[in-house]
Structure 1
């Protein structure tokens, strides 16, 4: 048995937090410290997710649990290479994991790319999100913009530019930046994607979301009709585009958006400023196309900075392993490049954690001081989690009534607020609302299917509540649970999210497939169902839980109570929603006896 280790994770975004979750499960007694150069945790979720997508940002509640309940330490305002070297961190911690993400926008490598009106999507997203280390100069977009990319980030930028001020209700957008933009908003956007509609990297749901914005006319000159055997996502994408161009914007058209698929940039042209962009057809021999534009926005992904990275040499992506050196690992985009969603970073973190665990057979740790081995000066400047909570409270209190928070765009200001007079920060656990009528001998098994981790949060909070009431309960990911384990003497509580076009999350797919293929007789099996979704996506809201419910009922299982519903667009913590719902389920159980 290896003595408790000391882990350092560099970067507090999704990759770092997911890794800390996995490590904490395997190493419950070890020190885990998450370092970040900023005074705030959560990285990409806070500053990279578009400010009007609060349901995506709600995953911060899951990550907050690490610091509030899982004994993971946050050390903000400590910059690698400035306050502490990588070599020093490796000398005081047993294992160091790099989870810094990628911030450098990938370049187009075409003539004219360095003209002053060529902007990068990463910088714009950080600007609208009030990133404290981002230059606050407002871009001069002009009336006509060409967005080159085609993926979800490019759709984020498109959406931000065509929305009206009232469309940012309950967001955390930087109002100073927003106000400056609306002094001269864009009136025409050319959206340029290298791939055709079948292979475009955009999420059909995000394309469909554009149709909710009033006063915008959508045009698409590319072929839209696909064969019936085209991939499901491609058909959904084509359907979303058809619905966009069918929208009647009315008489008051504020902006037009023209979608171009199958075109790649050849050059950006202009004398001292952007005047147009020349495109070539990727898929056929159509003549080149030249589009007038006052500015260009590139959104073609992110890349490594290049050069010697803190003594490790020049790094690039590695899909096979997170190992960099003995006791040194990496995860997330910093491991595999800018591919995949936030949810995919969770799978990557699990794989790296398994690599770390698997290496311990040959690991011979020396005594390491951990975080306490840093100099007193560095530790004094660090923003710990209690200091962050002070800053978090200040942001919420400073917010206007129609904003979720007001982020401060100045790093020194944030640190000053965080380092104010210390106050006691306490975490209020989820209230125990479970019914006292429950059967004391009833076995309860909680099963969750999740993509980003919200269902797992709800499962753990619900389990804590049940345990506090003296009941035994087990929690399992559906991906690790066999249908052969379903038994009549156990009450199953399933918590299931929805993914993409109303699909089951990845961790529930095999369970559902096994039910469909084996078709076991589930007579006598009782279950309760709780669905997680987002009412913003009306057509697909809660469909994951519905599919699972229908399949179980089809095979003879009996549902107890109504299907619970959690809306990620609400401000209610998912765990509290699950606990409140389950109290009603227990009343149903008690009433049946």
Structure 2
């Protein structure tokens, strides 16, 4: 019987779901899967891209843990694709590879002043408060007035963590350095800006409701943003999610404010124009144009320019993928070009014809690097199913590796001195973090430095 030796690069939800779906799929061949990740610990976005005060994330981690703990997928952490292993290495040892590397960098916001000191991308801040090992241990939290640009879930995560009192995060797994940084923050006002109206936001009702539960934080709304046109009213009447969001926001409008020590302001109909220099190269104000409904669900500018004094700004306008060595990349969309998960490359033009996209046999994608940073974590399951279907049907075009044994990749990593971590190592780190939490009466405390993660995992 034919055997598929498959490498998956990326041990987040997309990669783990793809492995699980393949192992459960109807097929006429055996499967052996190796899962690689540049981080020493698995779970990707769930561990390092979602705010720690989301209790529902624990359920997702539990499901991913169950897949790995079956023991039919090998995990290799602390292994960097493009450095520790290359595409040529994968071709030598596997029949195919699926890239599930996600999108971890911020999309650009091209306005003047966006690169001033005190202007940040949301991705870096999220990585910091989630204890990512590859970002600095400290974060500049010296502003009293902060702007967050964006109307998606990440924007609300950033705003909530900035506005929330640090002591209220001690029930989560935030590392000690993050707690100390947030505890010392002098912030009093966090302003969230979206260019459209309240009925066009991209965050979910659950994410929104969490804002209203913050202790000693007033939610401030502005009546001028709730003068709906017919398109907005139709959206409320026809879309359940919009109806719930509208209901929550209008309930908050009735609340009394003015007693809390911190305020979280939600501004709508605000198009970013400029981040204003305070004269020293730092963020001094946020300048925006007031917009209005265009009657068709969109907005147009009014020409009215407003300016809000701030000392820090975070852009949360989307994530963007990262190119991978030897793999085609769409620089405009931040994804690997593909057709339903089959990677495409620009083939050489035949005589008299333009170059055409051709399948790059043996190479597949799933998750955000496939479709862009849209959809919730659960959407990666259906995404992976599509990719796996093509992988199975492409059997005749798989690579034919010269050294496909399971031992051969272990030998390669040993020869190169790669201090990789495995599933048993993750269990070691997991137990260690749980023990750290127990010492402080908490569920878990994350280990942050990469060398410490690796040493603990490898019991060294």
The TM-score with structure 1 as length reference comes to 0.67
Alignment match, 2:294: none
Q: 2:457 aligns with which of 415, 418, 426?
A: 418
Using the TM superposition, give the Cα deviation of residue 135 of structure 1 relative to its aligned residue in structure 2, in angstroms. Answer: 1.5
Alignment match, 1:331: 366
CA distance in 2, matches of 1:332, 1:114: 30
CA distance in 1, matches of 2:172, 2:406: 36
1:257 equivalent in alignment to 2:264: yes
Over residues 253-297 of structure 1, what are the superposed CA-to-partner deviations in whole Å (9 max), with x where a residue is unaligned?
111222111222111011211011111234241501211111001
Alignment match, 2:181: 180
CA contact (8 A) 1:78 1:378 kept: no
Using the TM superposition, give the Cα deviation of residue 87 of structure 1 relative to its aligned residue in structure 2, in angstroms. Answer: 2.0
1:297 equivalent in alignment to 2:314: yes
CA contact (8 A) 2:433 2:445 kept: yes
Please provide the CA RMSD for this pair: 2.1
Over residues 30-54 of structure 1, what are the superposed CA-to-partner deviations in whole Å (9 max), with x where a residue is unaligned?
1101001111011110111111113
Q: 2:273 aligns with which of 262, 266, 273?
A: 266
CA contact (8 A) 1:391 1:414 kept: yes
What secondary structure is seen at the aligned counterpart in 2 of 1:287?
Answer: strand
Distance 1:288 1:153, change over 3 A: same
Distance 1:165 1:42, change over 3 A: same
Alignment of 1:401-550 (within 5 A): 401-420=440-459
Structure 1 unaligned residues grouped into runs of 5+: 422-593
CA distance in 1, matches of 2:4, 2:322: 31
Alignment match, 2:7: 8
CA contact (8 A) 1:190 1:257 kept: yes
Higher RCO structure, 1 or 2 (CA under 8 Å, sep 6+): 2
Distance 1:245 1:100, change over 3 A: same
Alignment match, 1:94: 95
Distance 1:136 1:166, change over 3 A: closer
Distance 1:143 1:363, change over 3 A: closer
The TM-score with structure 2 as length reference comes to 0.85
What secondary structure is seen at the aligned counterpart in 2 of 1:353?
Answer: helix
CA contact (8 A) 2:189 2:264 kept: yes
Distance 1:74 1:379, change over 3 A: farther
Using the TM superposition, give the Cα deviation of residue 83 of structure 1 relative to its aligned residue in structure 2, in angstroms. Answer: 1.0
CA distance in 2, matches of 1:239, 1:104: 33
Alignment match, 1:531: none
CA contact (8 A) 1:396 1:405 kept: yes
Alignment match, 2:428: 390
Distance 1:69 1:314, change over 3 A: closer
CA distance in 2, matches of 1:159, 1:22: 35
Larger Rg: 1
What secondary structure is seen at the aligned counterpart in 2 of 1:6?
Answer: strand
1:280 equivalent in alignment to 2:289: yes
CA distance in 2, matches of 1:13, 1:204: 25
Moved more, 102-111 or 61-70: 61-70
What secondary structure is seen at the aligned counterpart in 2 of 1:184?
Answer: coil
CA contact (8 A) 1:303 1:338 kept: yes
What secondary structure is seen at the aligned counterpart in 2 of 1:8?
Answer: strand
CA distance in 1, matches of 2:422, 2:218: 48
Using the TM superposition, give the Cα deviation of residue 195 of structure 1 relative to its aligned residue in structure 2, in angstroms. Answer: 2.3
Q: 2:390 aligns with which of 355, 366, 378?
A: 355
Alignment match, 1:248: 256
CA contact (8 A) 1:220 1:260 kept: yes
CA distance in 1, matches of 2:406, 2:196: 48
Q: 2:245 aligns with which of 237, 240, 243?
A: 237
Using the TM superposition, give the Cα deviation of residue 401 of structure 1 relative to its aligned residue in structure 2, in angstroms. Answer: 3.8
